[in-house]
Structure 1
Amino acid sequence: MYRKALLGMALLGLSGVVAANPYEYKLANGLKVVVKEDPRAPVVVSQIWYRAGSMDEVNGTTGVAHVLEHMMFKGTRKVPAGQFSKIIAEAGGRENAFTSHDYTAYFQQLQVDKLPLAFKLEADRMANLALTEREFSKEIKVVMEERRMRTDDNPQSLVGEQLNALAFEAHPYHHPIVGWMNDLENMRVEDARTWYRTWYAPNNATLVVVGDVKHDAVFRLAQQYFGPLKPHALPSRKPQKEPLQRGIKKVTVKAPAKQPYVAMAYRTPVLRNVTEDWEPYALEILAGVLDGYSAARLNQSLVRESRLANDVGAGYDDISRGPGLFIIDGTPSEGKSVAELEQGIRDQIVKLQRDGVSEEELQRVKAQVVAAQVYQRDSMFYQGMLIGNLESTGLSWRDEKTLLAKLNDVTAAQVKEVAIKYLQNDGLTVATLDPQPLDGKQQPQPQAGEFHVH
């Protein structure tokens, strides 16, 4: 079968391959392979992305995507529990995994000649994971402790969790990636097995390789190791749209903390058509106007000048499978209240909506926003991240250049227009932290994402 498949690829001139860098090929079982040749160092990054994240979970099993990510390191029939990481380390590589609302991904960074090893191990656990009661009962305790450390004992994370839970009523972004504690306490190994059997298949995955490789050689390796795996039917994914928000929502979170904190989330669109949509690009530049560099408006006005805040920031992600949020958050200075900081933020928004941005400021912000994206592309790992993120959220790696070009095309009028349209109360959710006595407990530092630690 393998020789026949290779012959077919040769006869067709690798049909499906784009004559540019990156290169793409799809195996007969549905696995998409994207290769970015980057010869700057004799290393390679291999990432396998499954289009299944916490948004695909159902009530009662929240957190199962992240739990399965942990279990993927707990052995197959060929590789005993704990050996995956050891084998990669002994080969001089490093590996990890992460879960998001939209996808779950696993990666290795190795010397180029060790790429077959990464493929062999990943293909094995894509099809042959040994989900035992013994390993599950140990690992679910690890996940619950992770939730305690990252969320329950972290006041800002608690605020973020409640912010999402209130901002999203119908959409599963309502649920935390790590899962609700009660669901974790009642999760069983069969829940993980069901998730694995449902979503872990070559026709629900994208293999991304970046490094000092030749694409045709990588395609042959992918065919060798992943080609024999069988696809299976995937569940239909129903649209899950948020109902119209009809006014401001507010929640107060009481938790042990040193300082109060406020987070404001505005409902926004995300990219669905990279060439025709323009609002997401304008929203990204708007985030840069407010918090794209050290002299951006929020920091300059609220931290340096009025000293209302110790820190304040804005963020927006235009690429996701679900609905978007534009978030502004901050910690008030000592002696200042959350209400004062919130009003200070609102004043800056009103000023922007009224006066807009000058052409000079716009060009300065664009330079910062675009430069930040270009710098990320210097990293092999983040080149792979961009490709995997685009492919797993319904876009394409081919959109990369368009994304940068469209950012450069944003006008001052468009920035003002999206500020007026989306930074308004009817689409706003506000979560505040009401700090309670610490009782001598030390607060852990915030951690980003749901990365697996093993």
Structure 2
Amino acid sequence: MKHPKPIFVKPRVFLSMRLAGRFAAVLPAALMACVSPVVFAQAPIPVEQFTLANGLTVIVKPDHRAPTVAHMLWVRVGSMDEVDGTSGVAHALEHMMFKGTPKVKAGEFSRRVAALGGQENAFTGRDNTGYYQQIPAGRLEDVMRLEADRFAHSQWPDDEFRREIEVVKEERRMRTEESPHAMLHEQASAVTFLASPYRRPIVGWMSDLDAMTPGDVRSFYQRWYVPANAALVVAGDVEVARVKKLAEKYYGPIAARPVPERKPRSEPEQAGMRRIDLKAPASQAYVSMAFKVPKIAAADLAPAPGAASPTLAASRDALALTVLSAVLDGYSGARLERALVQGQGQAGGRVADSADASSGLFGRGPQLFTLDGVPAAGKTTQQVADALRQQVALVAQGGVSEAELQRVKTQWVASETYKLDSVFSQARELGSNWVQGLPLDASARLIAQLRTVTAGEVQAVAAKYFGDDQMTLSTLLPQPMDPNRKPRQPSAPASGDLH
């Protein structure tokens, strides 16, 4: 079953938007095409942000529709902050954060949250690491006490690390090494990026995991888990004054320390096509094309009055590329599905079993526009790649219709409204925006700017960013599968959830 996809941005690019389109996508297409954005307008729920004396940011969004609260701690550190030789340490640390403090034994954190009637987990990305609990509103103080203790006093014996790093290795085997698509994307990233730390896999190279020591993980924890590099986000049935009092009580005593200096690691301009072919046991071939594209600058979402922005042109292009990805693949029956999967207007009929497009809009590192697809029976990866690029060329030559523009814009507005049904989604968006240095009302500002994107801008970016010199072409070459191979079973449950 093919699940509804996000309207604009894939999960690996922008966490806070990754579920946005799933709600809007289930609405009947005819209804979505004719609904005015004004119908979805709501009075914004007020959000308050303040900073504790030790530098910790606190963001609170009251929502009293249900007696539940999402409590999230975001740390502005991810795999991009690692150094060569220790890839995967950010994710390994996320696992070890469940292994106890002087007050809480290993594994006890999760048991206590469950006993409170809550759910919890964690995630590691390129740009950030996050820890969250969703609990009854009356239990907020309990999880604040637990999370503040874990953030400040994580402590575990070397034997715990030696056991848990084997879990991490098994996670890598299951999610990456036994998945041809994951292996291809991992190796493609290593080829696409040269200077950017985005070239390293979040889970880490296996050789680095083999060589990782408890000291590597403790050093990363001491270096980056400081109050001024973290944000507490609380959304749900709460009062701001109460949250502030609890934050000062439990997070306030954590000692302030400086955030380490970050060196710029700019990606050099690409000057020629890059290519990778991967041979792996698989039932179908697969092709992916990644193009270097600009991202939107935080300053262009909240410009200073009268200030000239040197990044405005690039930000406008990033928005237009986001709309282009939605025109191609943002809803059921979009251009890629009609042309490549259904074969409408395609010489020779359908060429792909699936075809996708996505564009990076935000990130601490460089962003990509990706086109990918799985060939239909009797078709080649080259035919799929040519058909994907042809759809972009058609936009570059003939533009997009106003009906297409209005449809994708209306869907984004609708998705923003449906997102408010989940306090967890609200908290996740606020935390992700903080990581990227965006204003609290970034979503509203994005919608306002999205509405101003013109057909001409979409046509212009389709003609500008899809040349060979900006592309990395990745192809999966399927090899015979072992009929006797049995699926790998996890050796132990993972503490955290890798994104």
Query: After TM superposition, which residue ranges in structure 1, 4 or more long, deviate above 6 angstroms?
Result: none
User: Cα distance, 1:274 vs. partner?
Assistant: 3.1
| From 258, 262, 266, the counterpart of 2:283 | 258
CA distance in 2, matches of 1:20, 1:375: 14
Query: Structure 2 unaligned runs (5+)?
Result: 1-43, 302-311, 344-348, 489-493
Query: Is 1:379 the counterpart of 2:422 in the alignment?
Result: yes
Paired position in structure 2 for 1:12: none
Aligned pairs for 1:262-411 within 5 A: 262-272=287-297, 273-275=299-301, 276=312, 277-305=315-343, 306-411=349-454
Paired position in structure 1 for 2:72: 47
CA distance in 2, matches of 1:227, 1:177: 31
| From 185, 188, 193, the counterpart of 1:168 | 193
* Residues 98 and 495, structure 2, Cα contact 8 Å, conserved in 1: no
SS in 2 for 1:300: helix
* Residues 54 and 252, structure 2, Cα contact 8 Å, conserved in 1: yes
Paired position in structure 2 for 1:11: none
User: Cα distance, 1:65 vs. partner?
Assistant: 0.2
Paired position in structure 2 for 1:33: 58
Paired position in structure 2 for 1:138: 163
Taking every aligned residue pair, what percent have the same amino acid on both sides?
46
* Residues 274 and 403, structure 1, Cα contact 8 Å, conserved in 2: no
User: Cα distance, 1:375 vs. partner?
Assistant: 2.5
* Residues 274 and 399, structure 1, Cα contact 8 Å, conserved in 2: no
Note the alpha carbon deviations across 1:298-334, whole angstroms, 9 max, x for none: 1110001232111111112311111100111111111
* Aligned length, in residue pairs: 431
AA in 1 matched with 2:203 = V
| From 241, 265, 287, the counterpart of 1:240 | 265
Paired position in structure 2 for 1:57: 82
Pick which of 270-279 and 44-53 moved more. Answer: 270-279
**Cα distance 1:372–1:424, how it changes in 2: closer, same or farther (>3 A)?**
farther
Paired position in structure 2 for 1:184: 209
* Residues 396 and 463, structure 2, Cα contact 8 Å, conserved in 1: yes
**Cα distance 1:331–1:443, how it changes in 2: closer, same or farther (>3 A)?**
farther
| From 106, 126, 136, the counterpart of 1:81 | 106
* Residues 274 and 402, structure 1, Cα contact 8 Å, conserved in 2: no
Pick which of 420-429 and 97-106 moved more. Answer: 420-429
CA distance in 2, matches of 1:194, 1:38: 38
SS in 2 for 1:107: strand
Note the alpha carbon deviations across 1:6-52, whole angstroms, 9 max, x for none: xxxxxxxxxxxxx9711111100001000011111000000000000
CA distance in 2, matches of 1:256, 1:380: 42
Note the alpha carbon deviations across 1:371-408, whole angstroms, 9 max, x for none: 33432233211111111111012222232311111111
User: Cα distance, 1:153 vs. partner?
Assistant: 0.3
CA distance in 1, matches of 2:281, 2:71: 41
* Residues 79 and 126, structure 2, Cα contact 8 Å, conserved in 1: yes
Note the alpha carbon deviations across 1:243-262, whole angstroms, 9 max, x for none: 01001111001111100011
* Residues 45 and 63, structure 2, Cα contact 8 Å, conserved in 1: no
AA in 2 matched with 1:290 = L
Aligned pairs for 1:121-136 within 5 A: 121-136=146-161
**Cα distance 1:451–1:87, how it changes in 2: closer, same or farther (>3 A)?**
closer
SS in 1 for 2:342: helix
SS in 2 for 1:49: strand
User: Cα distance, 1:115 vs. partner?
Assistant: 0.5
CA distance in 2, matches of 1:60, 1:374: 44
RMSD of aligned Cα (Å)? 1.6
CA distance in 2, matches of 1:23, 1:442: 52
Query: Is 1:428 the counterpart of 2:471 in the alignment?
Result: yes
Note the alpha carbon deviations across 1:183-211, whole angstroms, 9 max, x for none: 00100000000000001111110000000
CA distance in 2, matches of 1:32, 1:396: 13
Report the TM-score, using the length of structure 1 for normalisation. Answer: 0.92
CA distance in 2, matches of 1:375, 1:314: 23
Pick which of 364-373 and 414-423 moved more. Answer: 364-373
User: Cα distance, 1:127 vs. partner?
Assistant: 1.2
Query: Structure 1 unaligned runs (5+)?
Result: 1-18, 445-449
Q: Which has the higher contact order (CA 8 A, sep 6+)?
A: 2
User: Cα distance, 1:451 vs. partner?
Assistant: 8.7
Query: Is 1:200 the counterpart of 2:200 in the alignment?
Result: no
CA distance in 2, matches of 1:386, 1:377: 11
CA distance in 1, matches of 2:486, 2:46: 49
